[in-house]
Amino acid sequence: MREIIYIQAGPFANYAGTHFWNTQESYFTYDDDDEPIVNHDLSFEEGRNPQNQPTLCPRLLTFDQKSNFGTLAKTSQADAAIDASLDTTWRGRVVRETQDPIPQSEYHARLEGETDEGDPERTDSNIRYWSDYSRVFFDRKSIQAVPDALESTEAGWSVGQDLFRRYNEDTELMEGAFRLLVENCDNFQGLQMMQDTPCFGGFSHAFLTAFRDEFLKASTINFSFLSDADPNHAGIDNFLDTKRIINDALCLQSLHQLSDIAFPILNPSRWSALESNLSQGLAYDKNSLYHTSGVISSLIETATLPLRLKGSREDIATMADHLNWRKCSRLGQLGGVVSLPCSVTEATFTDLYCNFSTGLSNKGEHAIFARRNVTRGLQDQDLAAFDAWCDLSSLREPLISSIHAPSYPVPTSFPSIFRHTKPTSMRMVSSLVTAPSTSIPLMGYARFVEQTARTRRSDGALMSMDLESDDVKELASALWEMVDGYGNDRMDEAND
């Protein structure tokens, strides 16, 4: 068996991760005659539910501020550490003040009272935390509550790294919870990781560095959620935007160094060029983590489905080798079509396809290095149109691959973002791509970082990140080197 350990770090990553695990739960079968389409043992292990009964739990470490865990916070190791720290030799009076417990979410209350009619719908506006709509049980070791002081470290690259080191020392994370996850695997293949760069960029870099020090041959696939700062439209005088962009750039450099393959994903505030495509089938609130993470999670879950399909020989290493066959394009793109209409043509895929890594519709982009498609719920006539769309590119097998799977299940926990009645399953397409156009956003970061290194107006932002001018110059040089890995025609593409 080739087990995968999952890492989630940050609010958006955990919102998306909750949708991801709810989808995995929907693949469970409870009839001996029904064969599941995925191998659950790759992503789940035996754990304990709150009643201490055996159940399947994700092979997961989930990091977030303690206040973001909602009702899960009461099971965190932080609370256990407080109890353990009480001096048992003290015989005097002890006064301990505790906060009122967070009430159960409306969705979970309805689940516990569900009838034969099935799971009830929940109201989107009543989602307070990502744990409010979770349908799986998490083992105690999975819950990693980071001190709430992290909110003051946004875009603090070195502060995030220091926080990881202190947290690792205090909780023995790598030798404790993570080591236990690895030991519970028969044949650990690597990590599937999602993280927010604003608050968990430096933290995740330090985690991956510690991981690589011991598991050099293990594979990693990474989905990184960038900040809302746009390097092409931000000014050097904007203190917070400068910090965010430098932090994002450091994260991109880290991913390129430490991941086998990684997919930077734009903040929903930068999806403006995609809205005309998305709005044809979806009516989502771009300011809602619950809504936007549902869109992204469906694409990530579908794109990585081959890693979990029963009988599949795919693993993270083969996926990364396929996409990065040039050995210099470790940063890829995530794109696809969410909620395909009932009937499709070749033009449907062209008109609805969205690239969430570049923010472009990709209508005119046919130059790509490699592509991995996964379709969900397409019928024979739809597949013919899909194949015709794929043929628009000059790419041929084995550099392009397509896997066709059953429809994407839509749990009751999924947000009501559909134009029409909420379906029980969804037809969609998700793609992982490496292409020359990856150089375009990278060039934006390289130019901004280069400009930052040349002006003294950014000294305050750099000092707050514990960076010097030479560090930023080295970062700019590294970014330009990454740009060069995507071909000499990058300038023409950027101009286009």
**Are 185 and 309 found together in one domain?**
yes
* pLDDT band per the 50, 70, 90 thresholds, residue 495: very low
The strand ranges marked E within 51-203 are 54-58, 60-65, 143-146, 190-196
Residue 79's pLDDT is what?
44
Tokens matching residue 108:
């979970």
Residue 472 has pLDDT above 60, yes or no: yes
Residue 121's pLDDT is what?
52
Please, what is the Cα angle at 164 between 158 and 167, to 5 degrees? 140
Instruction: Please tell me the total count of domains within the chain.
Output: 3
Per-residue pLDDT of 179-201, as tens digits, reads 999 999 999 999 999 999 999 99
In a domain, 94, yes or no: no
Percent of the chain with pLDDT over 90: 69
The strand ranges marked E within 59-215 are 60-65, 143-146, 190-196
In a domain, 113, yes or no: no
In a domain, 373, yes or no: yes
* pLDDT band per the 50, 70, 90 thresholds, residue 363: low
Better-predicted residue by pLDDT, 228 or 91: 228
**Cα–Cα dist 70/104, whole Å:** 9
Which of residues 323, 358, 386 is at a domain's end? 323
CATH number at residue 357: 3.30.1330
In a domain, 189, yes or no: yes
Tokens matching residue 339:
């909620």
**Cα–Cα dist 469/472, whole Å:** 5
**Are 288 and 409 found together in one domain?**
no
In a domain, 253, yes or no: yes
**Are 430 and 445 found together in one domain?**
no
Residue 57 has pLDDT above 80, yes or no: yes
Residues 489, 439 contacting (CB under 8 angstroms): no
Residue 82's pLDDT is what?
42
Which of residues 279, 305, 323 is at a domain's end? 323
In a domain, 369, yes or no: yes
The pair phi, psi for residue 155, each rounded to 5°, is 60, 25
DSSP H helical ranges for 172-315: 177-183, 197-214, 239-258, 275-278, 289-303
**Are 274 and 414 found together in one domain?**
no
CATH number at residue 154: 3.40.50.1440
**Are 394 and 444 found together in one domain?**
no
Which of residues 323, 352, 387 is at a domain's end? 323
Per-residue pLDDT of 34-44, as tens digits, reads 889 999 999 99
Residue type for position 361 = S
Taking only Cα atoms into account, the Rg of the chain, rounded to an integer number of angstroms, comes to 23
**Are 156 and 209 found together in one domain?**
yes
**Are 70 and 160 found together in one domain?**
yes
**Are 32 and 166 found together in one domain?**
yes
Structural domain for 397, as ranges: 333-435
CA quadruple 208, 265, 23, 430: dihedral sign:
negative
**Are 309 and 340 found together in one domain?**
no
